[in-house]
Amino acid sequence: MSRLDSHDEFFIGYLGVPPQLKRFLLGLIPVLVLGALAFAFILPPLHFDHFNLGKRTKVPEFEGLLVGEPSPHLLVPRTGGVGTVSDFSLYLLSGTGKTSPKPKVLEHVDKWVKLKGTPFHRNHLTVIATKSAEPIDRPTSRPTQPAEGSSLGEFSLKGEIVDGKCYPGVMKPGRTKTHRSCAIRCIAGGVPPVFVVHNSAGDKLYFLLSDLDGKAVNDKVLDRVADPVQITGEVVQYADAFVLKADPATYQLL
């Protein structure tokens, strides 16, 4: 039988912490705290293509025209000379969770509103996690009505359907169950689905999805989310964004 080493220590819950274990914990806990702080400062900037690194700031306010289709979005007038660029910036809208904006927000569709929410963006895609909205008077010194969408023709595009909230936030796209389940939950809850396409130069292009009548397709694309997909349909330029109009039944898995 082996002899018990007198230097061995064993923690017993109703007794004091053994000296060796106490010294070890006193050294380990500060290292863990410093490590967590280091990760908090080092890792967020590595997500170089998205906004809002988790910092707590005052909730921003936006003034614009609230539109409901094909997915809730806010058209915000651009300031200064815009040249040939659209007079409006289009910001997708979601709720604060994996949902669409609250009914109290959507009851102001087709009105000018002051909207409060937290913006996230990745490249040229911006979404606002909407907290509230209240109607305001239509501005007189800025453009108040966006131009009708301009058809660019029919295209056959290959890409991936992602959700418009977690994708521009912290979710890195990939063909994994975690990414897919996250995106499906968001889209099923009313978050706008977005089609991500890479052009020949490697740039990312983002398309809002609608059916042939310009309506939302959330519940019709859940079995196509986060997989390589080919969609053939009409591309419409709307404000500074693109809408891809197609029958969801024609989406093809690759």
Q: How far apart are CA 160 and CA 141, in angstroms?
A: 40
pLDDT at 148: 77
pLDDT at 232: 96
Show the 3-state SS of 156-203.
EEEEEEEECCCCCCCCCCCCCHHHHHHHHHHHHCCCCEEEEEECCCCC
The radius of gyration computed from the CA coordinates of the chain, to the nearest angstrom, equals 25
Domain boundaries, the chain: 61-135, 150-253
Query: 59-68, pLDDT tens digit by residue?
Result: 889 999 999 9
* pTM: predicted TM-score of the whole model, two decimal places: 0.74
For the chain, percent of residues with pLDDT exceeding 90: 38
3-state class (DSSP) for residue 96: coil
pLDDT at 130: 92
Query: 147-202, pLDDT tens digit by residue?
Result: 778 889 999 999 999 888 887 766 655 556 677 888 889 999 999 999 999 888 88
pLDDT at 4: 52
Query: 3-47, pLDDT tens digit by residue?
Result: 555 566 666 666 677 777 778 888 888 889 988 888 777 665 555
**Topology given in CATH for the domain delimited by 150-253:** OB fold (Dihydrolipoamide Acetyltransferase, E2P) (2.40.50)
Q: Which residue has the higher pLDDT, 92 or 40?
A: 92
Residue located via tokens 């099923």: 188
Query: 109-120, pLDDT tens digit by residue?
Result: 999 999 999 888
pLDDT at 5: 55
Handedness of CA 199, 242, 92, 215 (dihedral sign): negative
**DSSP letter at 225?**
B
The model's confidence at residue 80, banded by pLDDT at 50, 70 and 90, is low
Contact call for residues 117 and 131 (beta carbons, < 8 A): yes
Q: Which residues lie across from 208 on neighbouring strands?
A: 194, 243
